[in-house]
């Protein structure tokens, strides 16, 4: 996607199945097993929506009857979950994008500065030519997402889109102030952040709820 000249884009994936799964994720009584299933389902549904404008190119194939023109994705896709919570959405994405490369970014929060610090990254050699989907379920302050996107750009990625389950307006503003060229796809833009930087109403700590910790 080449959108650097256009205004920052936030796409809310408003679909009945996504709304229903998101409600299950938000509900405090949803236990780990059900939470995992709903997050998996919603990641699949989001994959359909956020890949809608991936470019394809024509190529010729032969059916059992005759030659015809088909289509294939123009570029490889690289999925990049941000550890840890991003891993909870990965299987939903790979079930649709079964030949996508998977890269990882690990960030932890420095408790003094409250800033994200990178502790791990692993990028495929195809990153620069890929359509890259950065995955982090909660866009809260926006600092982690923006740091992860900066790492991807430093490693050569040029076509990045950001998939997040729930975004806070503060996170959207911070992310787009640093990366106006990267569209955000989300199931919901919530009210805002509380004093502990949790999204309100949100769903709590996505990693804890997914991993049962």
Q: Which residues of the shown chain bind ligand URA in the complex (CB under 6 A)?
A: 85, 138, 140, 198-199, 202, 205-207
Choose between 40 and 159: whose C-beta lies nearer to ligand URA. Answer: 40
Choose between 45 and 199: whose C-beta lies nearer to ligand URA. Answer: 199
Choose between 39 and 157: whose C-beta lies nearer to ligand URA. Answer: 39
Shortest approach of ligand URA to residue 22 CB, angstroms?
14
The CA-CA-CA angle for residues 192, 195, 84, to 5°, reads 75
Shortest approach of ligand URA to residue 132 CB, angstroms?
22
The half-sphere exposure of 73 on its side-chain side, counting CA atoms within 13 A, is: 17
Cα→Cα distances 212→85, 88, 108, 167, Å: 12, 11, 19, 22
Choose between 51 and 188: whose C-beta lies nearer to ligand URA. Answer: 188
Q: Which residues of 175-206 are buried (b: 16+ CB within 10 A; e: fewer)?
A: bbeebebbbbbbbbbbeebeeeeebeebbeeb
Choose between 45 and 138: whose C-beta lies nearer to ligand URA. Answer: 138
Shortest approach of ligand URA to residue 194 CB, angstroms?
8
Shortest approach of ligand URA to residue 28 CB, angstroms?
13
**Would strands 67-73 and 56-62 be described as parallel, antiparallel, or unpaired?**
antiparallel
Q: Which residue has the tokens 């919901």?
A: 188
Shortest approach of ligand URA to residue 14 CB, angstroms?
21
């Amino acid at each position: 996607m080449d959108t650097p000249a256009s205004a920052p884009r936030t796409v809310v994936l408003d679909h009945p199945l996504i709304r229903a799964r998101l409600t299950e994720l938000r509900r405090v009584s949803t236990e780990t097993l059900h939470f995992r299933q709903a997050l998996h389902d919603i990641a699949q549904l989001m994959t359909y929506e956020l890949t809608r404008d991936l470019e394809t190119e024509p190529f010729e194939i032969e059916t059992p009857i005759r030659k015809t023109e088909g289509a294939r994705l123009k570029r490889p896709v690289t999925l990049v979950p941000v550890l840890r919570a991003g891993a909870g959405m990965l299987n939903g994405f790979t079930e649709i994008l079964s030949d996508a490369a998977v890269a990882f970014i690990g960030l932890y929060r420095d408790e003094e500065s409250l800033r994200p610090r990178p502790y791990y990254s692993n990028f495929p050699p195809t990153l620069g030519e890929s359509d890259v989907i950065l995955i982090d379920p909660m866009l809260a302050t926006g600092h982690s997402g923006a740091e992860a996107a900066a790492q991807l750009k430093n490693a050569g990625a040029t076509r990045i889109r950001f998939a997040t389950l729930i975004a806070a307006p503060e996170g959207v503003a911070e992310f787009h102030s640093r990366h106006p060229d990267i569209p955000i796809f989300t199931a919901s833009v919530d009210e805002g952040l509380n004093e502990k930087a949790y999204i309100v109403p949100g769903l709590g700590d996505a990693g804890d709820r997914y991993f049962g910790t």
